[in-house]
Amino acid sequence: MRDKVVQVLEIKMIDKRVNTFEEALQGIADSSTVLLGGFGQAGSPVELIEALIDQGATNLTVVSNNAGEGEFGLAALMKAGRIRKVICSYPRSSGSFIFEELYESGKIELEIVPQGTLSERMRAAGAGIGGFFTPTSAGTLLSQDKEVRQIDGKDYVFEKPLKADVALIKAHTADRWGNLTYNKSARNFGPAMAMAADLTIAQVQEITNLGEIDPEHVVTPGIFVNRVLEVKLEN
C-alpha cells in the first residue's frame, strides 16, 4: 500500500531540471522573440546564449538591456548572424563593437526603449496587463507615434506589454519546481523576463533539493519558470 502511494507521487512529480544545453533549449523556433537577462555581464546567461548558436534558431528578435560586448554571449550570437532585431535601452557599451558594425552596415534593426519602460513592459506582459501610461519619454523622440494622455495635468505615454516566446535568464539557486534566488545586482531583469515569456529557461549556479530554499527568500516563484539547468561557474 505504502509503495503504491510513492509510485503515484513519482508519476505526478514536477521536475523542471534538465541536464544538458540541448534539453534546455529544445523547441526554440526560428523568428522567436527571445528575452535575455542581464545588465552588462551581471546576470547575463552567457553559456545558454552561446548554446543557442549550436541549437540553430535564427532570425531572432532579442530583448536585452545592452547589445553585448567582446565576442562572447550575445555578441557571439550576433556575429553568428542569428539576430534580426535588438530591443534594448543602451546598446553602446564599451566593447559592443560587433553590434556597432552590424548596425552601421544596416544588418541589424534597433529599437530603443527607456530602461524602466523596458522592464515595466515585460512585467505588464507577465501580469496580464494590456499596457500602461508612463511619464517617461513624454515630449521626446521616443514617444513619437505613441498615444499621449494628460492625467492630472501631466503627460503620460502609452506603452504596450512586451511578450516573448522565450526567456533565457541567469539565477543563483533553483530547485526542481523552478523556484529561483539570485545573486546581488545580477537579479536585474530576471524576475520580469521570467514572467513575460511562454518558455522561461534559467541557468543557475546550483540546484538544491526542494525545501532548501527558504520560502521567504524565493525571488522568482517556480510558476514563472519552465526549465532549470545547473551551470557551475568559477567566480
Interacting residue ranges for other proteins, rule: CB under 8 A: 39-43, 67, 88-93, 99-100, 103-104, 110, 112-120, 122-123, 134-142, 182-192, 219, 235
Cβ(229)–Cβ(21) below 8 Å: yes
Nearer to other proteins, 16 or 123 (CB): 123
**Min separation Cβ 37 and other proteins, Å:** 10
Nearer to other proteins, 61 or 119 (CB): 119
**Min separation Cβ 204 and other proteins, Å:** 13
Nearer to other proteins, 2 or 217 (CB): 217
Task: Say if strands 197-207 and 164-174 run parallel, antiparallel, or are unpaired.
Answer: parallel
Torsion of CA 215, 217, 222, 223, to 10 degrees: 80
Nearer to other proteins, 20 or 185 (CB): 185
Task: Say if strands 83-88 and 60-63 run parallel, antiparallel, or are unpaired.
Answer: parallel
Angle 106-110-116 from CA coordinates, rounded to 5°:
165
Cβ(157)–Cβ(138) below 8 Å: yes
Cβ(34)–Cβ(169) below 8 Å: no
**Min separation Cβ 158 and other proteins, Å:** 15
**Min separation Cβ 21 and other proteins, Å:** 22
